[in-house]
Amino acid sequence: MLPRGIPLGGSVGVRLGVTNSYSHKVRVGNWSEEQEMQEARMKDFIHRKEKGMLMVHKIQKNMQQALKEVPLSSSRDGLVRLGDSIMLWSSDSEGVLSCDPSDRAAVGGVESAVGVQRPFVVTTSTLVKAHVARNTFIIEPYGGDQGLTSDGEARIGSVLRLGQPFRLRAHPALLDASSPPFYLASQPLSAQAASKVSRKQIVYMSSTKGFDTVWKAAWKDIGRRFEMDGQPLPAHAEIVLLHVATNTALSSSAAHIQHTDFGQEFEVAAHTYLDVGKRQGLYAEMLGKQTTDIPYRREMKCNHFAMLMAPYTEEGEQKQEEELARTQVRGASGASSQEVSATAIQLVKQVRETLLSRGPDQLFAFYRAALQYSRNGSFGSSSGSQGGGIMVGYPDFLKLLLSHGCKVSTEEFEMLVHALDRDLNQGIDVTRFVQEMRGPLANARSNAIASAWLLLDPFGSGSVSVSQALQQYVASHDPEVRTGRVTASQALESMRTKLTQLSYQDAATNTTRVTRREFEALYAMLSAFVANEEYFVQLVKGLWRQKTKQ
């Protein structure tokens, strides 16, 4: 029997195995400790909510990235090519092959390897009909470092043939920029590696580019498979995908349901489901109609897939050729084109963030310094002008980055310049690089800048003197003047300084002149700091307008 006056809550109640049914609001037991614990939990919850670390935030971010729409490749002749972006449709589940980076796959030996990112699950899904990041795959050639097979024919852009080995890579939009490429892979069935539902040979997305990521396509009809081997693979035709290392067919059955964050989907495994109907194989071999290397039992419907592509259009083909040209760029460090592209995009973002953190005028200062290098240097050995753009050589471009606080390693710099130097002329177009940093200029903003220049140069001479341009500049409309930070005369001098730094000295007229290219580049860079498009248009129109005579 308990002594009188001792409550059942708190530490005594815990020691006696009695649970306190009161909250900390009731002053019973260890109510002070429970109140502090509740406050600590609330603070932790608010912190995780503000930082976006809650589970619901992670799921939302994963879905937004996975369901982002990406383009599909198209083909004029209806044939599948290496480098195409395709969807893989299952005949049995009537869904498309889909992957989920947040759902990790348990693959023995792979997930515990040092320096290897953990593989993730593959399913077929009927939930999304559009071509999005999680259900779009890129066909890559299997071969050496240059993307070639031993016979040198498996190039990016060449026709994919039946029986030809290849890889299926997850779309880059599905993964972070720092993430390595992931490929469709499979391992032999074992106690440590098996599919989740049917316990067949596991199929997953792997970051290791080994032989277990190599596949080949076989014709669906086994009666014509032998003579169809080596023929071009048509899009939308039903085929059998064979894992080269294990000679097992890719499969997806509507009977094997697998639940993911996206809903009810269907399991993908590697297992050859053969027709139960037996045929007279030995008798056919005796007659010489078929040999032992020719299958005489057909695969079932769950082994049938088709590669889906977008309808052909002239515009789509042009975009596809531009994308193909970008993916063929390779760095001097020997990295793959995908690694070069991802690293270059990440470096451009880092340069932009560094410049913005150093002040709103740093993007303009970067462009001004590049213009100075271009005018003082001689392109080919250092810098110069070519094709209307501001061209600088590799050494001057490195000086530009370092002088503006952008620290890059030697390997990163090599990958960046090889991605930017698309014409392979040993020079960087800084105008294009600045455009990459600030993003594409909207039509409304571009038209406003062009209208402002037309006011300065109505006869289309291509350049105006700085003094002539400033006559049309309304300094009182400057945002800094309106907020009272500077006076109108100070704003006018600031604009005079910017135009002068971008100008050149005309020896014939002995005037300091600015060209249309520099004027448009100045406001194109300022556009990166103004998020509201309508406000930017009204700002440019207000700063540059015809002054009325008093």
H helices of 358-460, in order, are 362-376, 394-403, 410-420, 430-438, 443-456
**Alpha-carbon span 398 to 430, nearest angstrom:** 12
pLDDT for 154: 64
**How confident is residue 144, by pLDDT bands cut at 50, 70 and 90?**
very low
pLDDT tens by residue, 291-347: 666 667 788 999 999 999 988 776 666 665 555 544 444 333 344 444 445 556 677
pLDDT for 314: 65
**Alpha-carbon span 252 to 293, nearest angstrom:** 25
Q: CA neighbours within 13 Å on the CB side: how many for 397?
A: 29
328-438 shares the fold of 68-314: no
483 against 435, higher pLDDT:
483
H helices of 252-311, in order, are 281-286
**How confident is residue 9, by pLDDT bands cut at 50, 70 and 90?**
very low
pLDDT tens by residue, 444-453: 888 888 888 8
Rounded mean pLDDT, 359-372: 69
pLDDT for 26: 76
pLDDT for 294: 64
User: Which CATH architecture does the domain made up of 443-543 adopt?
Assistant: Orthogonal Bundle (1.10)
Nearest one of 505, 502, 535 to 521, comparing CA atoms: 502
Q: What is the dihedral of CA 445, 447, 451, 457, to 10 degrees?
A: 110
The predicted model scores a pTM of 0.51
Q: Which of 91-95, 113-117, 521-525 has the highest mean pLDDT?
A: 91-95
User: Is residue 247 within 8 Å of residue 165, measured between CB atoms?
Assistant: no
Q: Which two tokens stand for residue 310?
A: 């977008």
Nearest one of 224, 196, 15, 198 to 106, comparing CA atoms: 196
Q: Which two tokens stand for residue 296?
A: 């005489």
Q: Which of 6-20, 37-51, 234-248, 525-539 has the highest mean pLDDT?
A: 234-248
Residue with tokens 């620290």: 407
Q: Which two tokens stand for residue 372?
A: 């100075």
**Alpha-carbon span 347 to 353, nearest angstrom:** 10
Q: Which CATH number applies to 328-438?
A: 1.10.238
Q: What is the DSSP letter of 473?
A: B
The number of angstroms, rounded, from the C-alpha of 257 to the middle of its chain's C-alpha atoms is 30
Residue with tokens 């409309």: 477
**Alpha-carbon span 382 to 119, nearest angstrom:** 46
Residue 236 backbone phi and psi in degrees, to 5: 70, 5
Neighbour-count burial of 187, counting CB atoms closer than 10 A to its CB (0-12 exposed, 13-18 middle, 19+ buried): buried
Enumerate the domain spans of the chain: 10-50, 68-314, 328-438, 443-543
User: Is residue 239 within 8 Å of residue 306, measured between CB atoms?
Assistant: yes
**Alpha-carbon span 431 to 525, nearest angstrom:** 10
The single-letter code of the amino acid at 117 is Q
Q: Which H/E stretch holds residue 288?
A: none
Q: Residue 439 forms beta bridges with which residues?
A: none
Q: Residue 252 forms beta bridges with which residues?
A: 268
**Alpha-carbon span 78 to 219, nearest angstrom:** 16
Nearest one of 459, 477, 389 to 427, comparing CA atoms: 389
The correct CATH number of 68-314 out of 2.40.30.110, 2.30.110.10, 3.30.450.20, 2.80.10.50 is 2.80.10.50
Rounded mean pLDDT, 17-33: 70
Rounded mean pLDDT, 217-241: 89
